[in-house]
Chain A
Amino acid sequence: DTAVSQTPKYLVTQMGNDKSIKCEQNLGHDTMYWYKQDSKKFLKIMFSYNNKELIINETVPNRFSPKSPDKAHLNLHINSLELGDSAVYFCASSQDRPGGHRNEQFFGPGTRLTVL
């Protein structure tokens, strides 16, 4: 009965590789997000999708590309991985858009990405 799930939990890869992280939510929410938490534990928004439509796209390198096949899934693909991409990536979901009334966000367990 997991609400927001992510795979894999750990990802270790070499610089220059391409990798994907998958996220699924079974809460029936309309909006999903990707966050990056750096080594200082600072959590920052990367992308947000509402009903498969991109609504927030923060200043992140275009090596990062989100893809939402349906409103229950939001995947993150990263091309040409760099050392600085090492971080924990969290997926989250909320019922409404950020400006809506039901905007509490529920987070997945995170994916720890290590680029060597």
Chain B
Amino acid sequence: EDQVTQSPEALRLQEGESSSLNCSYTVSGLRGLFWYRQDPGKGPEFLFTLYSAGEEKEKERLKATLTKKESFLHITAPKPEDSATYLCAVLDYGGSQGNLIFGKGTKLSVKP
């Protein structure tokens, strides 16, 4: 069965303290790994798509990387406005009819 596990569940950082969020997955055939940001009371906001191991993408203070088993979302010198829940999702066209399988998210809090 497809699984997506995110860790940690919650992360508290001081402003400027860099860190990484982890998303590990087990799928029969990865067709894409997606990162989303979700603010309280809002819908998930698309951040990145990664398709193959070794691929990296960056956006402002965020950098997403992908290996064959996991993805990392690196946050460099975070600011309070980066506080949100970060969701990882995988697309496994082979085993799940093309559904996005979401992890439970990592809730990030950045204190000034």
Contacts and interface: CB of A to CB of B under 8 A. Distances in A.
Are chains A and B native binding partners rather than an unrelated pairing? yes
Interface of A: 4, 40-45, 48, 55-56, 58, 90, 92, 97-99, 103-110
Given A45-B99, A109-B43, 20 more contacts: A43-B44, A44-B102, A56-B98, A90-B43, A97-B98, A98-B31, A98-B93, A98-B98, A98-B99, A99-B31, A99-B91, A99-B98, A103-B32, A104-B49, A106-B46, A107-B45, A107-B46, A108-B43, A110-B41, A110-B42
Interface residues of B, number: 23
A25 B29 CA distance: 30
**Residue among B45, B87, B98, B102 with the most chain A CB within 10 A?**
B98
Nearest to A58: B99
Nearest to B48: A104
A104 B46 contact: yes
B99 A56 contact: yes
A107 B44 contact: yes
Interface in B70-112: 85, 87, 89, 91, 93, 97-100, 102, 104-105
Contact of B100 (A4, A40, A45, A109): A45
B25 interface: no
Nearest to A97: B98
A51 B26 CA distance: 31
Top-6 shortest CB links A-B = A98-B98, A107-B43, A99-B93, A43-B102, A99-B98, A45-B99
Contacts of B100: 45, 98, 105
A76 B72 CA distance: 35
A43 B87 contact: yes
A103 B97 contact: no
A41 B87 CA distance: 10
Contacts of B85: 41
